[in-house]
């Protein structure tokens, strides 16, 4: 490897982190400001434009512009785990309004901004957990494929229904079992369909990069700790 060139798996992980969605919880959704107007009656806005957002500022002046894209639920309990959101850009408060309608200046944008998109406080992301309980077993399921594809393979990112509260930590490597392999497990020893490297951890959801795969993976497939005894459900 040439000096200064990162290993391929590090490059792939960084690329996955860059495109991974933001996870918004119920409290953040409830407190978000909604964009209600664009400049010159336009339908789209971008960097350098002024927009109007409606809601309570809660003393915040810097915001991320986001668009919720997918509600995530635990496949077993039905619990709402949060909403995936696409980060469209950033905006700063320009003028506070007296009637909860405030003026903002868009400082950056990666996609076009529309009415109905949300403004949430631009706070530093929670540091991904790096500590885990020794020997903690993990039995999770894929609940999201980043980018919205029906199937995932090597070098793609997926979300699972376990997070920091379940002792998931960034840097963990999990085994993956596809549904058709699970169905065959009662007749022969189960074999892994791939490996998942966790890179981002929220309270109840984590995202990882598929570092190896021998078959296509999809929502509902299993992710488990390599040291646990896997029992098909």
Helices (H), 107-212: 179-184
pLDDT at 3 (0 to 100): 59
pLDDT at 37 (0 to 100): 95
pLDDT at 19 (0 to 100): 77
The tens-digit pLDDT sequence of the chain (233 residues) is 555 555 666 677 777 777 788 999 999 999 999 999 998 889 999 999 999 999 999 999 999 999 999 999 999 999 999 999 999 999 999 999 988 999 999 999 999 999 999 999 997 655 454 545 555 688 999 999 998 899 999 999 999 999 999 999 999 999 999 987 655 545 555 689 999 999 999 999 999 999 999 999 999 999 998 554 434 44
pLDDT at 13 (0 to 100): 72
Residue with tokens 């964009």: 35
Distance between alpha carbon 101 and the CA centroid of its chain, in Å? 29
- In the three-class reduction of DSSP (H, G, I as helix; E, B as strand; rest coil), residue 165 is classed as helix
Distance between alpha carbon 70 and the CA centroid of its chain, in Å? 10
User: What separation, in Å, do the N-terminal and C-terminal C-alpha atoms of the chain show?
Assistant: 44
From CA 182, how far away is CA 105, in angstroms rounded?
51
- Which tokens belong to 94? 């320009």
Asked if 194 and 212 touch (Cβ cutoff 8 Å), the reply is yes
């Amino acid at each position: 490897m040439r000096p200064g060139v990162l290993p391929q798996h590090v490059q792939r992980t960084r690329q996955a982190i860059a495109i991974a969605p933001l996870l918004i919880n119920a409290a953040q959704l409830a407190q978000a400001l909604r964009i209600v107007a664009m400049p010159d009656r336009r339908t789209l806005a971008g960097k350098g434009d002024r927009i109007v957002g409606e809601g309570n500022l809660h003393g915040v002046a810097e915001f991320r512009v986001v668009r919720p894209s997918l509600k995530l639920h635990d496949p077993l309990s039905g619990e709402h785990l949060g909403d995936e959101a696409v980060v469209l850009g950033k905006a700063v408060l320009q003028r506070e309004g007296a009637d909860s309608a405030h003026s903002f200046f868009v400082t950056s944008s990666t996609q076009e901004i529309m009415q109905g998109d949300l403004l949430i406080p631009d706070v530093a992301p929670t540091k991904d957990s790096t500590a885990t309980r020794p020997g903690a077993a993990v039995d999770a399921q894929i609940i999201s494929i980043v980018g919205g594809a029906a199937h995932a393979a090597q070098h793609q990112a997926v979300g699972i229904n376990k997070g920091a509260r379940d002792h998931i930590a960034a840097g963990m490597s999990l085994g993956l079992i596809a549904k058709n392999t699970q169905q065959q497990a009662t007749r022969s020893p189960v074999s892994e369909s791939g490996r998942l490297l966790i890179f981002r951890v929220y309270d109840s959801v984590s995202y990882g990069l598929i570092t190896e795969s021998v078959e296509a993976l999809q929502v509902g497939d299993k992710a488990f700790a390599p040291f646990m005894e896997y029992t098909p459900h």
